[in-house]
Structure 1
Amino acid sequence: MGGDDPDVPPLAATVEFTPAKDNCEGWTFPGKRPEDIPVPSGEPTAEWAHRLGGIDNSITRLRLVIQGMNSHDVVLRNMRIVELRRGPLPTGTDVSLRTDCGGDLLERNYRVMLASDAPDFEFVTRADGDRVKVIKKPFGYKVSATDPEIFAIEANAAGEGYEQCDCLITWKLALDWTHKGEQGTLIVDDKGASFRTKSTHLNSPYPTVVKQGDAWK
């Protein structure tokens, strides 16, 4: 099993995209008009959007399931942003899950502000109803084949104070681990490609649409 072979990481990560349906999150399809974007048969999803070249608008929400490959504990020492790049801002049709924005995602564990000078993960929880509380705590967990960990990640395209960079941010996650005296890093990405998150406060010359029935409105 993985972990006994030095070339095989002793842990694995499963990535699920979890856009918040109670918010006006969605995707930008660069250079495309609504008529250029096929209407999905069901609810628009991140997997559908990414397959067609869509870029996450403002926030990329992920649920990570981290599991060891054998019965020995793997210590997760750190989670960080790597291969972060900022490029030109693309314009195109925005597809939103809804037009009347609501609150934040109820499940929140870690948040990172991608446009900050030094993006770092913060542990986030809820306190006193809807108030979001940021807790400074060290990152440290253990996983094995029978004891996985699940992380909800909010990668916000803004910087400190929620300033936008008016750019396209590409990035990957890195999990630093220790196992049986060895150390390594597991890279988490979108099936080999970087995650892509758009940061902007500018109005696009292209429309914003939502799915109504079998058409964009």
Structure 2
Amino acid sequence: MPTTAGTRSAAAPDERRGSASKSPSRAGSPGPSVSSVGGSVDGSGDGDGHAAGGASGEGAGVDGAGAPTVVVDPYKFDDPCSQHYLVDRPAQQVPPPPNESDARGWVTALGGVPSGEQLLALTVQGSGKATVVLKALHVRVLDKGAPLAWNDYAMGVGCGGGVETKSFTVDLDAGRPAVALKGGQRDFPYKVSESDPEVFYVFADAQAHDVSWYLELDWSSGTRSGTVRVDDHGKPFRTSGNVGRPAYDYPLGGSEWGKAAPAG
């Protein structure tokens, strides 16, 4: 399968793989990721808080398109109540859970970290009319430690729903985390262009560790090829296990956080 985590692309810049800080602020970085062609590019955020990740390209030929653009939403909910966050505050100091559209501000203000599972939505689009082949998606772990000893807050109670299209999973607790297929989804490669984007969902699971990580997307178009780093505005994603942590939920119609059964 082309989605193993053990093979690093020669096109990916080594200087982008330094150790990440253990500061909780990693979860509150400004936004989804956008990438462009050239050697390791960091762009500025747009008015919607979208940030730029890195991209690298190979090949001197003029045949083919440049690197695809990847826009990432790291605050996606599988359903309105699926997401949990670890927060280093007592329940009395935590405001009510946000809607998905307000999750970034809520998490940033509290210094929270996605717990148990984090869902990323990746929108990948070609940079021109030429077809770009998306060859593989890899996981890169920068740091892995003991799960955070914070309180676990659920975003809701008694909800349903769920994402059903082009979904993949990542077991961040594994010795060599890799992107795996979810629910019969077909594997890479995929094809995109400027007028024909793809949306991928990545379910990253952590139970026993606090993990800093990012993704790399291998691409080619004609004689050009490269790797796009997929992260949160130049910072790694961060996901922590929540097993056994004090757990709270906010019942529908309630006015305060209440004790819930810990994750197990």
**Shorter-chain TM-score: what band?**
0.7 to 0.9
CA displacement, residues 85-105 of structure 1 (integer Å, 9 cap, x when unaligned) = 212321223221234586865
State the partner residue of 1:83. 141
Relative to structure 1, the CA distance from residue 199 to residue 108 in structure 2 (aligned partners, 3 Å threshold; closer, same or farther) is: farther
State the alpha-carbon separation in 2 of the partners of residues 61 and 91 from structure 1: 22
**Residue 34 of structure 1 pairs with residue 74 of structure 2:** no
CA displacement, residues 54-91 of structure 1 (integer Å, 9 cap, x when unaligned) = 11111111111100111111111110101342123212
State the alpha-carbon separation in 1 of the partners of residues 161 and 195 from structure 2: 35
Q: Confirm or deny: 8 A CA contact 1:174 1:188 kept in the other structure.
A: yes
State the alpha-carbon separation in 2 of the partners of residues 122 and 152 from structure 1: 11
What does residue range 96-175 of structure 1 map to in structure 2 within 5 Å?
96-99=154-157, 105-107=163-165, 109-125=167-183, 134=184, 138-157=187-206, 164-165=207-208, 167-175=209-217
Q: Which has the higher strand share?
A: 1
Match of 1:12 among 63, 69, 73: 69
Q: Which moved more, 1:89-98 or 1:143-152?
A: 89-98
Structure 2 regions of 5+ residues with no counterpart? 1-35, 42-54, 56-66, 258-264
State the alpha-carbon separation in 2 of the partners of residues 43 and 207 from structure 1: 19
CA displacement, residues 100-127 of structure 1 (integer Å, 9 cap, x when unaligned) = 58686544621121111222222222xx
Relative to structure 1, the CA distance from residue 200 to residue 61 in structure 2 (aligned partners, 3 Å threshold; closer, same or farther) is: same
Q: Confirm or deny: 8 A CA contact 2:137 2:218 kept in the other structure.
A: yes
**Residue 50 of structure 1 pairs with residue 107 of structure 2:** yes
- Report the Cα offset of residue 36 of structure 1: 2.8
State the alpha-carbon separation in 2 of the partners of residues 48 and 212 from structure 1: 21
SS at match of 1:35: helix
Q: Confirm or deny: 8 A CA contact 2:157 2:251 kept in the other structure.
A: no
Provide the aligned C-alpha RMSD in A: 2.8
Amino acid at match of 2:104: E
TM-score normalised over the length of structure 2: 0.63
Match of 2:127 among 53, 60, 69: 69
Q: Which moved more, 1:43-52 or 1:178-187?
A: 43-52
State the alpha-carbon separation in 2 of the partners of residues 197 and 32 from structure 1: 18
Q: Confirm or deny: 8 A CA contact 1:24 1:100 kept in the other structure.
A: no
State the partner residue of 1:180. 222
Task: Give the share of equivalent positions with the same residue, in percent.
Answer: 26
- Report the Cα offset of residue 146 of structure 1: 0.7
TM-score normalised over the length of structure 1: 0.75
